[in-house]
């Protein structure tokens, strides 16, 4: 795999897209963290939408126009959005004022408008981690012939798509054992990318160390916090007297041990990571449950056109200002239309974390405010979904459709293990 460097015009940006073999980092403390645009934290979204979001969008536009100017097609080129670089999108031919033949105009088809899968040109897919990470495998499952682009943190994967360095990002959102990956829920809201698909990946973990190292020598186990959580009981059962330490990604843990010749440290990572970094597998299938599966979402700059000819899922996020009592009414908008909810997640409402309720007699109650992320099994092309959202909107102070996309219907194959 080839490491992608930021375009020359982005010299003011940090080099955050990581390559295959260059990164060496300590397993403790913050790992390499390079944000392309650090003013995210000051983006007050959704409450402060008007000023700060427009600031953010204009800075982003400047950054992305630099990138576009150097090596990318213009933002309004559908052909490049979808990777069909050979299609001429000059839809209105200018007058033929020379004897120059007019370019042949091919009508756009539905596949030109659908962002995936690609036909011919290689799709660039950003993921968090280094080669051998599960996210890389998920990128390969979602887009089989893609060029997977490693990024050192989730936020960078979002930015890589926004700045046209990548066409898609594939990011984990939940795991069957470890639960939700909250960071990505928060980032979905802060960025303007659209969910265009999902993949579920069975996650099969291995315990690995340098060749010749025996289990008894291991004093610490390093991995991604989700992977450590997914193997917690098995690690205890294996009788390891080892401290657990969290690092940015599973494969990065294996890479770090190999690069620093650590003979007292083991990593939890994939068999592919063991192979890539010359590690020896000490135990295979150490996840606590053989049904260990992580769900990833695919993100793009443009939404896809929702359809009704196959099962679709829609993801939304909303807030309301009447406390959680309204939640029942909101959710019943789906129940009355027989729309199945597959997930509900609440996150702190960053811009309005507390709602104060004054009662002169007893004091001031401080209620926490939440944003609710809901996935439901229907396409936005269906009238019942449109009606349900119209009803939700009546109760919501804020509502955004994150995406309406085909459900992953691949047959279930568990990851193995005990």
Ligand X SMILES: O=C(O)C(=O)C[C@]1(C(=O)O)C=C[C@@H](O)C=C1
Q: Give CA–CA dist 28/104, Å, rounded.
A: 59
What would the x/- binding string for ligand X be over residues 258 to 297, using CB under 6 A? ------------------------------------x---
Q: Does 200 bind ligand X (CB under 6 A)?
A: no
| Helix/strand/coil for 328 | helix
- 61 DSSP 8-state letter: H
Query: What's the chain's length in residues?
Result: 418
Which member of 64, 80, 153, 175 binds ligand X (CB under 6 A)? Answer: 175
| Stretch of 105-113, 245-253, 323-331, 372-380 contacting ligand X, by CB under 6 A | 245-253
Q: Is 396 in the site for ligand X (CB under 6 A)?
A: no
The residue from 265, 294, 312, 318 that is catalytic is 294
Rounded to whole angstroms, the Cα distance separating 400 from 47 reads 13
User: Pattern of binders to ligand X over 128-157, x per CB under 6 A?
Assistant: -x---xxx----------------------
Per rule CB under 6 A, is residue 415 in the interface with ligand X?
Answer: no
Long-range contacts of 177-183 (CB under 8 A, 24+ apart): 177/229, 177/230, 177/287, 177/288, 177/289, 177/292, 178/225, 178/226, 178/229, 178/230, 180/345, 181/226, 182/347, 183/154
CB of 17 to ligand X, least distance (A): 16
Q: How far is CA 234 from CA 206, 268, 277, in A?
A: 11, 12, 23
- Of 56 and 256, the one with the shorter C-beta distance to ligand X is 256
Which of positions 49-78 make contact with ligand X (CB under 6 A)?
none
Q: What angle (nearest 5°) sits at the alpha carbon of residue 67, between those of residues 66 and 70?
A: 90
The whole-angstrom separation of Cα 110 and Cα 93 is: 22
Judge contact between 209 and 257, C-beta under 8 A: yes
All residues at 6 or more sequence positions from 283 whose CB lies less than 8 Å from its CB, including other chains = 206, 207, 215, 234, 238
One of 45, 154, 158, 296 is an active-site residue; which one?
A: 296
Stretch that binds ligand X, among 12-20, 56-64, 219-227, 276-284 (CB under 6 A): 219-227
Which lies closer to ligand X via its Cβ, residue 153 or residue 294?
294
Based on the shown chain and the rule CB under 6 A, indicate whether residue 172 belongs to the binding site for ligand X. Answer: yes
| Residues 42, 265: Cα–Cα separation, whole Å | 39
Nearer to ligand X, 135 or 159 (CB): 135
* Interface with ligand X, residue 226, by CB under 6 A: yes
Return the residue of 25, 124, 204, 224 that touches ligand X, per CB under 6 A.
Answer: 224
226 or 234, CB closer to ligand X?
226
280-284/265-269 β-pairing: unpaired
Query: Is 294 part of the annotated catalytic residue set?
Result: yes
| Residue 204 CB, nearest approach to ligand X (Å) | 10
List 68, 169, 187, 203, residue binding ligand X (CB under 6 A) = 203
Dihedral of the CA atoms 9, 14, 20, 21 (nearest 10)? 120
Nearer residue to ligand X within complex by CB, 81 or 139? 139
Report the nearest approach of ligand X to the CB of residue 172 (Å): 4
Give φ, ψ of 320 to 5 degrees: -145, 155
Rounded distance between C-alpha atoms, residue 80 and residue 300, angstroms? 12
Interface ranges with ligand X (CB under 6 A) = 129, 133-135, 172, 175, 181, 203, 224, 226-227, 249-251, 294
* Catalytic (active-site) positions: 294, 296
């Amino acid at each position: 795999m080839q490491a992608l460097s930021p375009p020359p015009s982005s010299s003011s940006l940090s080099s955050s897209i990581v390559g295959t073999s260059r990164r060496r980092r300590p397993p403790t403390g913050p790992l390499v963290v390079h944000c392309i645009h650090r003013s995210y934290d000051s983006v007050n979204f959704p409450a402060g939408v008007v000023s700060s979001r427009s600031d953010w969008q204009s800075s982003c536009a400047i950054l992305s126009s630099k990138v576009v100017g150097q090596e990318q097609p213009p933002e309004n080129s559908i052909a490049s959005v979808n990777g069909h670089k050979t299609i001429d999108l000059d839809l209105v031919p200018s007058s033929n004022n020379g004897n120059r033949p007019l370019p042949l105009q091919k009508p756009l088809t539905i596949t030109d408008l659908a962002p995936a899968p690609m036909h011919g040109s290689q799709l660039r897919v950003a993921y968090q981690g280094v080669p051998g990470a599960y996210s890389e495998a998920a990128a390969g499952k979602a887009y089989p012939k893609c060029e997977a682009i490693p990024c050192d943190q989730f936020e960078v994967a979002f930015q890589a798509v926004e700045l046209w360095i990548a066409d898609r990002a594939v990011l984990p959102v939940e795991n069957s054992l470890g639960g939700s990956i909250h960071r990505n829920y928060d980032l979905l809201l802060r960025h303007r990318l659209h969910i265009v698909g999902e993949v579920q990946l069975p996650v099969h973990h291995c315990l690995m160390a340098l060749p010749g190292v025996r289990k008894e020598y291991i004093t610490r186990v390093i991995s991604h916090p989700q992977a450590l959580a997914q193997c917690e009981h098995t690690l205890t059962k294996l009788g390891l007297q080892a401290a657990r330490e969290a690092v940015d990604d599973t494969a990065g843990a294996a890479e770090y041990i190999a690069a620093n010749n650590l003979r007292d440290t083991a990593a939890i990572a994939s068999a592919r990571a063991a192979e890539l970094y010359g590690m020896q597998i000490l135990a295979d299938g150490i996840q606590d449950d053989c049904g260990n599966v992580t769900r990833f979402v695919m993100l793009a700059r443009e939404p896809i056109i929702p359809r009704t000819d196959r099962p679709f899922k829609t993801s939304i996020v909303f807030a309301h200002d009447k406390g959680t009592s309204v939640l029942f009414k909101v959710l019943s908008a789906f129940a009355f239309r027989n729309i199945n909810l597959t997930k509900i997640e609440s996150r702190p409402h960053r811009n309005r974390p507390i709602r104060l309720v004054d009662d002169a007699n007893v004091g001031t109650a401080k209620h926490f405010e939440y944003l609710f992320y809901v996935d439901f099994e229907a396409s936005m092309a269906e009238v019942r979904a449109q009606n349900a959202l119209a009803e939700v909107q009546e109760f919501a102070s804020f509502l955004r459709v994150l995406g309406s996309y085909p459900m992953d219907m691949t047959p279930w194959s568990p990851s193995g293990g005990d």
